[in-house]
Structure 1
Amino acid sequence: MSAQLAAGTYRCHDVSRSLAAAVDAGVTWVDTAPNYAFGTAETSLRPILDTFPEVRVSTKVGYLPHSDWRAVRAAGVLPNDLDRGHCLTRPCIAWQLARSRARLGRVPDLVFVHNPEHGRTDRADLTRTLTEAFEELEGAADAGEVGGYGVATWAGLSSGMFTVSDLTKLAETVGGPHHHLRAVQSPVSLVHLAVVADALDGHGALAEAREAGLDVFASAPLGGGELLGAMVEELVHVIDPRAAPAQASLLVALLAPGVSRVLLSASTPAHWAEACGARPASPCRPIV
């Protein structure tokens, strides 16, 4: 079964407008982070989330937007020896979770540990960081402060810094058999095609996630927009001769084995209508 489209807010110029168009198209999930839209993304989403409580939302912990630096320093949760732009200690995570709940106006359905590989080249250090993050998020989930958690990475999986199996084993160690690890987020596209090839052969990150029962959120399905100019007629025809270039690019992620949701930042109803037509059985689900 192919994936569903979800609204992404990374590099989104007008978060409110984008989500409004996505909801009109029937999209039922939005993914964001405290540092998106110069620190305004979560606050911009709240009016629409209040209006459409059935739309689910995921956010992240890790990156601290410049607009939060004064507040996080005043809170005394930022270690002096850490880069103030990225922090995954338990006090920082707890502080970000409380701030995200206030900005979103609700408990997030998922909270992703955002690029835990950031600034780390040592696997042991990375494991310690993930363990601390998982401990805090397990506690938050037990307390009803988050619905579940996951790991969002740009290069952690593709570089071999960690595997999906590593994450599930760590979650079981920290949270036991009923842990709250629910998802992973990573690039899936023609630019990041190796992960798709691995999945088609029955191994790699997507296959491991499916085996573990984790949702996979595919990020950057259009390669940050670069793929749109590279979708020549011959390539589109190979993927789907009926598709427009953007649709053909999306199909690579939408039909990749193991992918649950594909994150798309599109700002207009026309863009969402085109995206939802990327396959005969629409990847958008109408809200009823």
Structure 2
Amino acid sequence: MSESISAINVLLVCVGGITTNVLAKRLQQQLLLQGYKDHIEATGIFNLEDKAKQCDLILVAPQAQVFYPQIRAIADNLAIPIEHVDEEALTQENISGVIEKIMKYHRGSCKIRRSEATPKVKFTPVIFMDIIKSSLKDMVLILVLAGIVWGLKTVMDWKPIEWLNLALMKMIGFYLIFSIGYHYALKLNRQPMACVVLCVVSCFMLLPVNDAGNETVTLLFRNNLAWIPIEALSLRMCPFLFAICCLAMILDQGMRRLIPIDLDSRYIPFSLTDTLYISLVICLFFILRMVLSLFL
């Protein structure tokens, strides 16, 4: 037995991940009888992107062939090899053909490409729209919760409900900013908190542009509850915050293409490259704020 790869994490992909569960168990049992401790897991196409980050080999079931372009794109980004499963393996007891595909990687005739570097994902319009859709989906729960609390406030004169309603209505914008930054990092394999900082600071650079009137950012509690806690992050400002976050993502990608720099090292626990680009984008927003302040 070859000792070059002691165990392989294999992902068996079909449309929903249900019909291939039985095949995954049969494969794992057969490999165990041969002395291999491989982990075989069945998954659906919609969970593939998250599951694939932990696997070494992808097996594509016949039902999932219509999704092969999407599977191929995910596999290429993560440098994972792909093999196809014959239809006979799903309908008959003979799974030797699938076992043979896996054994090629144990014998070394095919290579498992375990990349130490973080795979780079291109910022395409499709990725951009996925970020937007994922962020808006995250907003549904807090909007429903805010609506329920607002409804309770209209029928109940109770201070805790009033405080909760005030907090939810005035902080929905911050939730939107955080969600966009998080999904931006998730889709492009970046550091989540770094991208959240990018969106949050970019918004604070432009909101408010001037410091007059009700748009003043106020963090002080007042006993009469007449205060405006971070009015710039309230529900009514969400469309403007949304636009600023989109602009921040586009500027970040533009800076990375105009000034290609790679300062990362495995000896440093955070990304110097992300930190540099985010700092440059924030500087651009600071300049934009100074320019706008001359006219507003």
Q: TM-score, normalised by structure 2?
A: 0.22
Of Structure 1 and Structure 2, the greater strand share is in 1
Between structure 1 and structure 2, the one with the greater Rg is 2
Of Structure 1 and Structure 2, the greater helix share is in 2
